[in-house]
Homo-oligomer: A and B are copies of this chain.
Amino acid sequence: MNNTVKIGIVGYGNLGRGVELAVNRSSDMELVAVFTRREPSSIQASVPAYTIEDAAKFVDKIDVMVLCGGSATDLPEQGPLFARSFHTVDSFDRHAKIPEYFAAMDEVATAAGKISVISTGWDPGLFSLHRMLGEAILPEGNEYTFWGKGVSQGHSDAIRRVPGVKNGVQYTIPSEDAVQRVRDGENPDLTTREKHIRVCYVVKDVHADADKIESEIKTMPNYFADYDTTVYFITEEQLQAEHAAMPHGGTVLRSGTTGSGNKQIMEFGLQLGSNPEFTASVVAASARAAYKMAAAGQRGAKTIFDIPPAYLSSESPASLRKRLL
């Protein structure tokens, strides 16, 4: 197993478990340990679990640390901490904070001679890549990103904060009509309301007023007020039985023109049965790429814009050219 990339996982939630599954399926990577803020003995993983403080002892045993914590508080702290001693990969997803996070990670990783791939996954990640490819190839054109159908964690949380709501799930759904207009090359100007609809499944407290809850959700600023929102009241049993999966997906479209007005449309779409497992699959491939970038003498913070695509694959460049080019 000398040539395998030794992987550690920091944070063992949905994303961490997805990375475990993806790494264990890759013959060129080997999962060594999981690091957690919980009591390690409570973790049921395929490898031993340790405290985050114990990670220092693994400097010679782990090549790439995959940071699976949240973007709000975990990554801003854990990212620079781990980048001092390991190559790292994370899926930091607070779009507005990316420049700041990149700068912090780049400083530490560069000084330590490490690679830190930040903000990988599908958005940020593959969707970002396609927004970039669309602009680079078709500079005259418009970009459209549609999300869904999928569960939005932030909007589901917002529903659950409404008084009288016991539980709830929110689906973001792209407007089929809007997507079709873009595919047809119309280059429409689309308002927020025209691009997506929101559908909520709500479990209310027995004595709560359904009309009042529905009205509070639909008029909630930022989250729902700018959208056509539908609210369904269901039972807790229905919620558990029918809304426990974590599907997501979406589409990035570039609608441009070349020459004397020839329409050219590029489209990248995802239909994901499990959002965290797919994100984890991109993250795992990025861990492989981080290791290869380091082996090629690079250092510092990197994003999907910087990764030579072949580095994401376990296969040799010659084999990729022969089979897939």
Contacts and interface: CB of A to CB of B under 8 A. Distances in A.
A262 B308 CA distance: 28
A311 to B, nearest CB: 9
Interface of A: 18, 21-22, 25-26, 95, 98-99, 102, 119, 124, 126, 128-129, 131-133, 135-140, 183, 185, 257-259, 262-274, 277-278, 280-282, 285, 303-310, 312-315, 317-318, 320-322, 324-325
Contact of A136 (B21, B98, B138, B312): B312
B303 A274 contact: no
10 contacts: A26-B139, A132-B320, A133-B312, A135-B315, A137-B282, A258-B277, A263-B273, A269-B269, A305-B308, A306-B317
Nearest to A247: B262
A20 to B, nearest CB: 10
Contact of A258 (B18, B271, B305, B306): B18
B274 A262 contact: yes
Contacts of A262: 272-274, 277
Contacts of A321: 98-99, 102, 303, 305
A217 to B, nearest CB: 29
Contacts of A285: 136-137
A268 B129 CA distance: 12
A282 to B, nearest CB: 6
A95 B25 CA distance: 30
A267 B269 contact: yes
Nearest to A297: B297
A281 to B, nearest CB: 5
A262 B244 CA distance: 13
Given A136-B314, A264-B272, A278 B258 contact: yes
A278 B264 contact: yes
Given A99-B322, A119-B325, A322-B98, A277 B305 contact: no
Question: When A and B form their complex, which 5 residue pairs have the shortest distance between CB atoms, in order from nearest?
Answer: A262-B273, A262-B274, A305-B310, A258-B277, A263-B273
Nearest to A281: B137
Contact of A305 (B22, B270, B317): B317
A305 B281 contact: no
Contacts of A274: 258-259, 262, 264
Counting chain B CB atoms within 10 Å of each CB, the highest count among A22, A306, A309 belongs to A309
Contacts of A99: 318, 321-322
B266 A270 contact: yes
Given A124-B325, A271-B264, A278-B264, A306 B306 contact: no
